[in-house]
Amino acid sequence: MKIIYIANTRLPTEKAHGLATMKICEAFARTGASVELVVPKLWRRSGDPFLFYGVKPNFKINKIFCFDFLPFLPRWLEWLTFFLQMISFSLFTILYFLFKKRDRVEAVFFSHDYMPLFFVSLVASKIFYDIHHFPGKNFMYRRVMNKSFGFAVQTRWKIEALRKDFGIPEKRVVYWPNGTDVEKFSAVIPKNEVRKKLGLPIDEKIVLYTGALFNWKGVETLILAIDKISPVAKVYLVGGATADVEDLKKRLPEANDERVVFVPFQPHELMPFWCQAADVLVLPNTGKQKVSLYYTSPMKLFEYISSGTPLVVSNIPSIAEIVDDGSAFLAEADNPMSFAEKVNLALSDAEAAKEKAARAVEKSKFYTWDNRAVKILTHINHLGAQLPSKKRILVIPQLTRIGDLVAATAVFDAIKKTFPDCRLAVLAATQAAGIVRQNPDIDELIIYDSVNRFSLMKKIRKGKFDVGISLSGTARSSLLMFFGLIPTRIKLARKNRPWAEWLTDWLANIREFYPHSTDLVAFYLKMLRHIGVDKNDGKKKVVIFPEAETKVAEFFRGADFTESDKIIGLSITAGYNKTKEWGIENFALLMEKISTAYQNVKFVVVGAKSDKNKIADLRKLTKIIFAEATDFSLEELPTIIKKCSVFICGNTGPMHIADALEVPLVVINGPVDTKELVPRQSRHILVLPEPPVPPTIFAFKKAGSLELTKKALDNTTVKDVFRAFQKIFV
């Protein structure tokens, strides 16, 4: 998945949103996404954001031109310069992406700024809005809210507010507060050492606030409490802008108290030391403004709770959903007396303060940037690729293998159950297509043409598919989806795959790695979660044609089968992989044992025309009379198998047909992995080698030792298969 994060912000900046943007991008990339951060190219000098924030350079920062007049115009025109800068940045951003078609189609455009998203929504479809402030009602906001497929919020209040104000259902919103680097802030360093490093008094009690000094931050409340806070303590305010400090000193006499210490902006890497140097940390947010009451998710709160230092916080909704009375001292917002009392209590009651701080540290372990990234990316995977029901989906299973194609019908079933109105197309080779022809879930069956591949590519392009799903993982399927211009491309990948598959992996947006010895059908169904299909009960389907029923009835009448006969079906060959065959000698002995033990039993041996010689050899080995069904097409074969009371076969294509028809099965599993392609119905028995032999034949893995393969078949006796038949033939 590619995330294009658009942020109209100066990087680096002393403000918290710059740090949050860099940290979540780093976490997205660490979680496996490809991340491009798009920011304005400003005249103002700035350093390297990666060095400034101590962030790993695992994502790309792309700076887009904009009109930045702030250094040249008077301060009273700041509002105009900011507006021009934001509009120009947004316009040049969409101009940039107009020439990047793949990104417009495939990438998720992510932002906490509504204006860039408004303009991007004009050229791209996958818009995800990370709501930091609550949206307004102007036309730009309304378009962003309508065009965004998903939303992230940092406070629970916003979930209900979005439903009430914009009609956005909760299922489209993911909640996860901001985070922090828990390991950095929780590292225990002796307080004396930290204070020496920062040049702070060793014996002084320090009450600390970090961050900006905007009025909704509530810093005035803390300053006004200074004369009521214990005289042995000083209040340190770290990080405020010079203009804000001067304003506070002009307006509040208490701000000039010698016990109030203003410290200029500090590099973020020093923040863990400041938090550990303090005796009490304070978060005095106001309760008078919505931005503080309901919108904010202060990063300093998560830094505070990670540090192990006791904290005093405003008891307001946005903060109370993170900490409670068990993990912090809760003070009444905007009440200097309340804050003074709680600060003094934290300083005097060391045991209570220690207990609350320890519980806060436990809470902090959940609030990491990685956890927030995983939560959002999971939500994007679930919603971002989720399809309106009329979208077009192309599934590419194994093109020639009948068993794999029948197994894939469970995928078709699951897709149609979730999106009944979608248009589902399936690609299959001529020799195998018959088994899924007229499948009720398939709207279009595309025949693979290895000679006219260019025409095939044009046909896929003409289909204008929204999603391609390769269940085979082949290089061919990756190329077809990519050059077929399918925007969302999902493929199965595996370890130790051929070089051609390695080299074409990048053509898929989403890769799911198949762990061997795993139920393959269940894995196929799991792949569908990327398009919003959560069904794990997909059902295999094969079609019984009326005209085939007529032909099969005539066939059995011609072979002297009656209505009272119990038909036992046999498949004695194994398609393309002859090493899986149990042997005609064993089948001959098995038929004789069954015929001796049961009356009114008749046998039909199914196979392709190429199996006629082997079936003729079987006739020479037994006196048992049986019908030979080798002149039937793939469309007609299921009708024969459906007539059987029991079907006996190896782990091959006919097994999957019988499984889809829920015909009782005896499967001579031999060397095949017992956990991969197995029957899904209840009435089946896998006959395994005794003593056991490690499997050598797998769905997506090179076959193992021929010696072990032969041993697995040799260790499967006629007696074992007959015993299994007796159990299921009731």
Q: Are residues 51 and 35 in the same domain?
A: yes
pLDDT tens digits for 401-457?
A: 888 999 999 999 999 998 988 999 999 999 889 999 889 999 999 999 776 778 898
Amino acid identity at 322: I
Angle of the 612-621 helix axis to the 584-597 helix axis, nearest 10: 50
- pLDDT of 466 reads 86
**Per-residue pLDDT reduced to its tens digit, 616-643:** 999 999 999 999 999 999 999 999 999 9
- Can you state the angle between helices 653-660 and 402-418, rounded to 10 degrees? 30
User: What rounded mean pLDDT belongs to the chain?
Assistant: 91
pLDDT tens digits, one per residue of 673-727: 988 888 888 899 999 999 999 999 888 878 888 999 999 999 999 999 999 999 9
Cβ distance 333 to 316 under 8 Å? yes
| Separation CA 693–CA 674 (nearest Å) | 11
Over 60: is that where the pLDDT of 97 sits? yes
Listed residues 306, 339, 367: the one ending a domain: 367
Beta-strand relationship, 148-153 and 205-210: unpaired
**Who contacts 171 (Cβ-Cβ below 8 Å, separation ≥6)?**
383
The runs of H, that is alpha helices, within 54-112 are 78-98, 101-106
Exposed / middle / buried, residue 49 (Cβ in 10 Å: 0-12, 13-18, 19+): buried
CATH of the domain at 145: 3.40.50.2000
d(CA 407, CA 402): 9
The reported pLDDT for the residue numbered 450 is 73
In a domain, 571, yes or no: yes
320 assigned to some structural domain: yes
Q: Report the pLDDT value the prediction gives residue 387, as an integer from 0 to 100.
A: 47
In this structure, the answer to whether residues 293 and 431 fall within a common structural domain is: no
Question: What is the rounded distance in angstroms from the CA atom of residue 538 to the CA atom of residue 424?
Answer: 15
The 8-class DSSP code of residue 156 comes to: T
Instruction: Count structural domains, the chain.
Output: 4
Residues 512 and 599 both lie in one domain = no
Q: Is the pLDDT of residue 342 over 60?
A: yes
Do 131 and 33 have their domain in common? yes
Residue showing tokens 């989720």: 386
pLDDT for 388: 53
Is a pLDDT exceeding 70 seen at residue 385? no
pLDDT-based confidence at 45, cuts 50/70/90? Answer: low
Cis amide prior to 12 (ω within 30 degrees) = yes
380 domain-assigned? no
CA distance 633 to 683: 26
> What is the per-residue pLDDT across 271-314, written as a single tens digit (0 to 9) for each?
999 999 999 999 999 999 999 999 999 999 999 999 999 999 99
Q: Is the dihedral of CA 654, 657, 661, 667 positive or negative?
A: positive
**Cβ–Cβ under 8 Å, residues 507 and 475:** no
Q: Which of 367, 402, 436 is the last residue of a domain?
A: 367
Tokens coding 654:
């006919």
Structure tokens at 583: 């042997």
Is residue 77 assigned to a domain? yes
Q: Are the CB atoms for 9 and 358 separated by under 8 Å?
A: no
Summarised one tens digit per residue, pLDDT across range 532-573 is: 888 778 899 999 999 999 999 999 999 999 999 999 999 999
Residues 164, 213: one domain?
Answer: no
Amino acid, res. 618: L
Residues 283 and 318 in one domain: yes
Task: Answer yes or no: are the C-beta atoms of 209 and 284 closer than 8 Å.
Answer: yes
- Alpha helices in 206-259, H assignment, sequence order: 219-224, 242-251
| Same domain for 578 and 430 | no
Same domain, residue pair 453 and 414: yes
C-alpha distances in angstroms, 41 versus 19, 61, 113, 360, 515?
A: 18, 11, 16, 40, 45
Statement to judge: residues 169 and 190 lie in one domain: no
Q: Say if residue 386's pLDDT is above 70.
A: no
Nearest Cα neighbor of 570 from 538, 545, 602, 524 is: 602
- What whole-number percentage of the chain has pLDDT above 70? 98
Rounded Cα gap, residues 339 and 209, in angstroms? 13
Burial class (CB in 10 A: 0-12, 13-18, 19+), 134: middle
Nearest to 128 by CA among 31, 2, 15, 27: 2
Using CA atoms, how far residue 217 sits from 50, 158, 178, 210, 233, in Å, is: 28, 19, 17, 10, 21
Q: Are residues 100 and 230 in the same domain?
A: no
The reply to whether 537 falls in a domain is no
Please report whether residue 42 resides in a domain. Answer: yes
At residue 451, the pLDDT reads 67
Q: What is the pLDDT of residues 209-245, one digit of tens each?
A: 999 999 999 999 999 999 999 999 999 999 988 999 9
Answer yes or no: are the C-beta atoms of 343 and 349 closer than 8 Å. no
The answer to the question of residue 541 being in a domain is no
User: Are 290 and 317 in contact, with CB atoms under 8 Å apart?
Assistant: no
Which of 313, 337, 367 delimits the end of a domain? 367
Q: Answer for the pair 172, 201: CB distance below 8 angstroms, yes or no.
A: no
Least Cα distance to 727 among 659, 666, 648 occurs for 666
Q: Is 199 left (phi over 0), alpha (psi -120 to 50) or beta?
A: left
Q: Answer whether residue 98 shows pLDDT above 90.
A: no
Cα 337 from Cα 570, distance rounded (Å): 89
3-state secondary structure of 203: coil
Going from the C-alpha of 127 to that of each of 160, 243, 419, 528, the distances in angstroms are: 21, 37, 22, 21
Domain assignment of residue 372, yes or no? no
pLDDT at residue 475 is higher than 80: yes
- Could you tell me what percent of the chain has a pLDDT over 90? 65
Are 94 and 36 in a shared domain? Answer: yes
Residues 168 and 188 both lie in one domain: no
CB atoms within 10 A of CB 247: 15
- Is residue 272 within 8 A of residue 300, CB to CB? The reply is no
HSE, CB side, 13 Å, CA atoms: give it for residue 406: 26
Question: Where residue 27 falls among pLDDT bands split at 50, 70, 90?
Answer: very high
User: What's the mean pLDDT in 456-462?
Assistant: 90
pLDDT of residue 180: 87
pLDDT at 209: 97
pLDDT of amino acid 43: 75
Range 143-147, long-range pairs (CB < 8 A, 24+ positions): 143/118, 144/114, 144/117, 144/118, 147/117, 147/121
Query: What residues make up the domain containing 705?
Result: 546-728
Report the C-alpha gap between 306 and 300 in whole angstroms.
10
Please tell me the distance from the alpha carbon of residue 86 to that of residue 80, in angstroms, as a whole number: 10
Q: What is the mean pLDDT of residues 129-155?
A: 88
Whole-structure pTM value:
0.55
